């Protein structure tokens, strides 16, 4: 049996396998911000929608623009961090 490393295609991009996905059960990875995670090469996060549905709630998540926007893991959030890092350099 041959092992393959085919990428995982998702709605918001492609994740190269094998991959480590940090636990962000409630939308955050403790002790790290999104810039730190991006610097480490993290390709995605594991969130628990059951916990997020309970607190802060689906209406709050929707009002904030969805999970990607709420957590700052959106492509817009990554572009803003890159621009800020470039301006600081």
* Helix (H) or strand (E) segment spanning residue 82: helix 75-88
What integer pLDDT is reported at residue 41 of this predicted model? 87
Spans of the chain below 50 pLDDT = none
| 64-82: pLDDT as tens digits | 999 888 888 866 666 676 6
19-56 as b/e, with b when 16 or more CB fall inside 10 Å? eeeeebeebbbeeeebbebbeeebbbbebeeeebeeee
pTM beyond cutoff 0.75: no
Give the pLDDT score at 81: 67
Instruction: Note the pLDDT of residue 23.
Output: 93
Rg of the chain over Cα atoms, rounded to whole angstroms, equals 15
Burial class (CB in 10 A: 0-12, 13-18, 19+), 70: buried
């Amino acid at each position: 049996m041959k092992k393959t490393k085919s990428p995982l295609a998702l709605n918001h991009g492609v994740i190269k396998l094998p991959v480590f996905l940090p636990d962000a059960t409630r939308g955050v990875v403790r002790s790290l911000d999104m810039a730190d995670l991006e610097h480490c090469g993290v390709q995605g996060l594991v969130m628990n929608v059951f916990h997020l549905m309970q607190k802060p709630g689906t209406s709050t998540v929707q009002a904030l623009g969805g999970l990607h926007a709420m957590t700052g893991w959106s492509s817009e959030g990554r572009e803003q961090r890159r621009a800020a890092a470039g301006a600081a350099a």
